[in-house]
Amino acid sequence: MSKVLDELIDSIKCLPGVGPKSATRMAYYLLQRDPKGARRLANSILNSFELLGKCTSCNNFSETPTCNLCLDPKRNKKILCIIEMPTDLLMFEQTHSFDGMYYILMGRLSPLDGIGPKDLNMGGLYDRCKDEQIQEIIIATNFTKEGDATATYITELLKDLGKKLSRIARGMPSGSEIEYTDSGTLAQAISERKTINQKF
């Protein structure tokens, strides 16, 4: 085969979830069917590295020192939500039920992948949380082993700030049926059951 083509296929494999077969298909597709799109892709990758930095407030990717969301005067500055990835931010925003600020860890503690507290810039998180405006901090890492470990680490890190700390609720998903729920989730839903308010 052609070396240039091999290099293209190999470099496409760096995308998450793309194996050798998909990479080969994508390479031929770009070359044969969408040269314009391919050039655009190449240029926007290079552009991104040139133009994008991290927001000094929330740690998200941003073209400006502080991102639009952090500059938005309508956001509630008293409450800070700590999340793993920018994609989680999009999910939170889609719920339209949170109007506070965010801090994005850009990952989770994962010793097996060699990601420790230093890799996640936990110092930056601490500094952000010290901000006097912030009264409550919601930890919204994933409910995976790594997410749980990260939440525990953050709780330890921030406890001397004396601020209200919370974690988003774990339990049965909305619309779910007990019959089809996995036992781990159900066990959590039992142990974290909520007292029903009977004062009407």
Binding site for a copy of itself (CB under 8 A): 1-5, 7-8, 10-12, 14-17, 22, 24-32, 34-35, 37-49, 51-52, 61-63, 67-68, 85-87, 90, 106-107
- Shortest distance in whole angstroms from residue 138 CB to a copy of itself: 21
Whole-number Cα distances in Å, 30 to 16, 40, 47: 18, 11, 19
- Shortest distance in whole angstroms from residue 33 CB to a copy of itself: 8
Closest CA to 112 of 83, 145, 151: 145
Number of other CB atoms surrounding residue 199 within 10 Å: 3
For a copy of itself, which is the closer residue by CB, 33 or 164? 33
For a copy of itself, which is the closer residue by CB, 47 or 144? 47
Residue 21 CA to residue 155 CA, distance in Å, equals 43
Number of other CB atoms surrounding residue 187 within 10 Å: 11
- Range list of β-strands (E), 69-176: 79-83, 101-104, 136-140, 164-167
Paired with 137 in beta bridges are 80, 165
- Shortest distance in whole angstroms from residue 71 CB to a copy of itself: 13
DSSP state of 142: -
- Shortest distance in whole angstroms from residue 166 CB to a copy of itself: 26
For a copy of itself, which is the closer residue by CB, 55 or 134? 55
For a copy of itself, which is the closer residue by CB, 84 or 139? 84
For a copy of itself, which is the closer residue by CB, 40 or 164? 40
- Shortest distance in whole angstroms from residue 173 CB to a copy of itself: 19
Number of other CB atoms surrounding residue 163 within 10 Å: 15
